[in-house]
Amino acid sequence: MDWDRRHGQAEMRTECPLWLEFSGLPEFLCKRVRKEAWAVFKKIVELDCAVNLEPGVVEISLDELALRTGFTADVIGRCVAALRKKKFLACFIPDNTEEKALIRITTPFKTPIPSQELKNKRSDIFPPGLDFFRYVDQPPPSVENDPILSEVVDLYFNAIGLKMNFFILDELCLMRQRFELSEVKKAFEAAKRHEIKSLRWVMRQLVAGMKKDGKRKKGRKKKGV
C-alpha cells in the first residue's frame, strides 16, 4: 500500500508551466517591472493552474499572497499594479487587503523569447505534441466570438460610457468569467439607476454580492442544510 493510501489524500500541489521559466520572463519581470514581480507572477500562475483547467480567475487576498510569497501586502499591491500596467494581468483589487482580489492572467502575452522560437530551440524539452504553451497558445478574448462578453460590453457602453481600451476590455472579460450574466446585468442597472459612471463601482457591487453569497452558504452548512 502506497503512502497516499495509508495516510489519506496527499496535500494539493500546484505547478507553473515549465516553458515560462525558459522564456526569459523571470529576468524580464525582475529587471523591467519590479524585483519581486516574477515571484508574485509565478505564484498567481500556480494558483490559476491549480483551480482552472483553462486560464481563469484567481480569487485571493493581498494578505494571503503576501503570506505565500514572503512579501508585504503593500509590495504585493504594487507588483500586481505594475504587472497590470505591463498587460500581464487583469485584476480587481479591493481597498482592504484582507478581502479577496480577482486576478486573471492576460492571454496571450508576449515573452522575451517568443513561444515559437522557444519551441524550435528547445525541442528537447518541448517536442511536437508536448508544445502547447498555456497563456500564449490560447486565442485572445474576442467580443465577436463570445456573445456573453459582447452583451457585457454593451451593458458597459449603455451604463458607463463609450470609452474603451485594453484595460477596460480586460476587466470586462474578468467580469464575464467570474460572474453570472444576470448578476452583471443587475450591477450595471444599479449603476445606471444611480447615475454612477464608474466600472470600479460596478465591480465592487459584484464582489460584495459574492461575499454575501459566501456568507449565506456558510450559514446553511452550519444549520445542516
Residue 137's Cα: distance from chain center in Å?
17
- pLDDT single digits (tens) 71-122: 999 999 999 999 999 999 999 999 999 999 999 999 999 999 999 999 999 9
pLDDT in tens, 149-190: 999 999 999 999 999 998 999 999 999 999 999 999 999 999
Residue with cell 480567475: 57
Contacts of 92 (CB under 8 A, 6+ apart): 101, 102, 171, 174, 200, 203, 207
| pTM for this predicted structure | 0.84
Tracing cell 464575464 back to the chain, one arrives at: 176
CA–CA separation, 21 and 132 (whole Å): 15
Give the span between the Cα atoms of 149 and 155, in whole angstroms: 10
